Chains A and B, each alone.
Chain A
Amino acid sequence: MKRKQTIPGTTLFDADQARKGYALNKMCFSFNSAENRAEFLRDEEAYCRKFGLNEAQREAIRSRNVLALLAAGGNIYYLAKFAGIFGLDVQDIGAQQTGMTKEAFKAKLVAAGDRGGTHG
């Protein structure tokens, strides 16, 4: 097997992740539909069972833990649809993954813009 290149704090969504996360991602993809989002909210456990999530995936869904969802094979584009059910945006997700408050996370992004000159 080819040695994987590692990038700190980063998981490439590759074959290993895609194989591990298919059921979880398929469930999250279904949340494009308002009807499916409502069905999930009515009975989360039943909805997870319907898509055949494994225990690690179910626990990550229960705890709304983004890093655990990624570790269980989730892809961020589909997970964003799961987060959307609770009105969470990508900055809420970023804050949770980096252990910061949303305000601190947003301030970090603004600070990235304050460094160096402008391009125009």
Chain B
Amino acid sequence: MAEIVGAVTTSHVPAIGRAIARNLQNDPYWKPFFDGYPPVREWLRKIRPDVAVVVYNDHGLNFFLDKMPTFAVGAAPQYANADEGWGIPTLPPFPGDEDLSWHLVESLIEAEFDIVTCQEMLVDHAFTIPMALLWPGDHAADPWPVRAVPVCVNTVLFPLPSAARCHRLGQAIGRAIASWDSDARVLLLGTGGLSHQLDGTRAGFINREFDCLFMEKLVTEPEWVTRYSIPELVELTGTQGVELLNWLVARAALPGTVRKVHSNYHIPISNTAAAVMALEAVS
């Protein structure tokens, strides 16, 4: 059976894509952010994942309000990135894993998560930037070292799925991967957050105290955050800080106990409290 090796959770701010394209990793503004990633990459080299299940939210590249799924799973042979309108360079396509995709689709629907299945799916910066942070390099010349399965969570159109629902989805994804007849090593990747707000007169809102508590609890007690309603989470973390739901899904997929490998938290990147955390599944 497949093995879940761990989870990485990371912010996905578009400006990071621009900084990577311009090689600004050592620029004083960017260095405290990018310095969070080498220890995570070193750990990834040790645990050697074959596939990444990427839990993220689309910002209006693949999905529009004409059809807005609460949860969607990709089942494509590959996933292309495309122009999002404001000019960060697009990245080469990502190889999919159709076997895992269809196993996830079947298992989740069996578990009464009525997800939307996508045999074609564009992936936006929320998917591509975390991949580029974990596996840097020129992937036009040198293919991506992992296959990927996108899991998209609606954080755009309210009502959003509750934190409790996202926690249960993560658990169901974990059980599905554990029952997949494969010798693949699977990494969960949860993207977005942490606290930030782009819209309204509260734009620029950041909540360090809550973010730090959330990161701490996510390691030992991921269900802690399910005590908050979605409006409460927006109030605590900002209208886009609610993307922490993607972190929760990824974390909840890990079976048993976990060990924190590394974390980094830095304010600000663009309008965002930017963070990364790597968790290893130890049992």
Residue numbers in A under 8 Å from B220 (CB-CB): none
Residue numbers in A under 8 Å from B84 (CB-CB): 32, 81, 84
Whether the Cβ atoms of B265 and A109 lie closer than 8 Å is no
Contacts A75-B156, A90-B271, A93-B203 given; does A119 touch B265 at CB 8 Å: yes
Q: A76 — nearest CB in chain B belongs to which residue? A: B199
Q: B236 — nearest CB in chain A belongs to which residue? A: A7
Please tell me if B161 contacts chain A, counting CB pairs below 8 Å. no
Residue numbers in B under 8 Å from A120 (CB-CB): 263-265
Complex Cα distance A76/B65, Å?
Answer: 13
Whether the Cβ atoms of A14 and B158 lie closer than 8 Å is yes
Interface size class of A (residues with CB under 8 A): 35 or more
Main secondary structure of the interface of B (DSSP, over half): loop
Q: Which of A32, A34, A105 has the most CB of B within 10 A?
A: A32
Whether the Cβ atoms of A84 and B87 lie closer than 8 Å is yes
Residue numbers in A under 8 Å from B265 (CB-CB): 118-120
Residue numbers in B under 8 Å from A112 (CB-CB): 204, 206, 208, 267-268, 273
Complex Cα distance A60/B94, Å?
Answer: 38
Complex Cα distance A86/B198, Å?
Answer: 17
Q: Which of A9, A83, A106 has the most CB of B within 10 A?
A: A9
Q: How far does the Cβ of B229 sit from chain A's closest Cβ, in whole Å? A: 8
Residue numbers in A under 8 Å from B64 (CB-CB): 25-26, 29
Please tell me if A1 contacts chain B, counting CB pairs below 8 Å. no
Complex Cα distance A51/B138, Å?
Answer: 39
Complex Cα distance A108/B202, Å?
Answer: 12
Q: How far does the Cβ of A118 sit from chain B's closest Cβ, in whole Å? A: 7
Complex Cα distance A66/B14, Å?
Answer: 19
Residue numbers in B under 8 Å from A79 (CB-CB): 199
Query: Which residue of B82, B209, B266 contacts A32 across the interface (Cβ within 8 Å)?
Result: B82
Complex Cα distance A66/B200, Å?
Answer: 8
Whether the Cβ atoms of B202 and A10 lie closer than 8 Å is yes
Please tell me if A5 contacts chain B, counting CB pairs below 8 Å. yes
Complex Cα distance A113/B65, Å?
Answer: 35
Q: A79 — nearest CB in chain B belongs to which residue? A: B199
Complex Cα distance A115/B210, Å?
Answer: 13
Near B by CB (< 8 A), chain A positions 29-79 give 29, 31-34, 37, 66-67, 70, 75-79
Whether the Cβ atoms of A80 and B201 lie closer than 8 Å is no
Q: How far does the Cβ of B55 sit from chain A's closest Cβ, in whole Å? A: 18
Residue numbers in B under 8 Å from A101 (CB-CB): none
Whether the Cβ atoms of B201 and A12 lie closer than 8 Å is no
Residue numbers in A under 8 Å from B83 (CB-CB): 32-34
